[in-house]
Amino acid sequence: MNQAIYTRVKHLLAQTPRYRDNDKLLVARYWWDEMKAKGIDPEKATARQLLDLMVDDRVTKSGSILRARRKVQEHFPNLRGIIHTHRMQKQNKVKENIRNLNHWE
């Protein structure tokens, strides 16, 4: 795991809660910041410029960013999103339903 990616993703998740539940927003913001750091104005950049950056590996791969998000959220549960909380609540209900089914046998 690239520590710089991990650290940057952790900062973004802590700074902006909506990135916790939206991978597309997180990746877009990560690339936005990378473009600015490279002296490219994201407001004026074309789709072609972004695609060239992606093809030339001059922006971080989205998979690496998302892998870092999963690891950060594993290490820091407070940086998990609302969707995770709902999923866990639903999981507990399903587990209880399964246990109840076993009692009928």
Q: What's the pLDDT tens digit per position in 44-100?
A: 999 999 999 999 999 999 999 999 999 999 999 999 987 766 666 676 777 777 777
What's this model's pTM, rounded to 2 decimal places?
Answer: 0.81
In whole angstroms, give the CA distance from residue 17 to residue 37.
23
Average pLDDT over residues 20-26: 97
Report yes or no: 43 and 25 within 8 Å, Cβ to Cβ: no
In whole angstroms, give the CA distance from residue 60 to residue 41.
17
Which pLDDT does position 69 carry in this prediction? 97
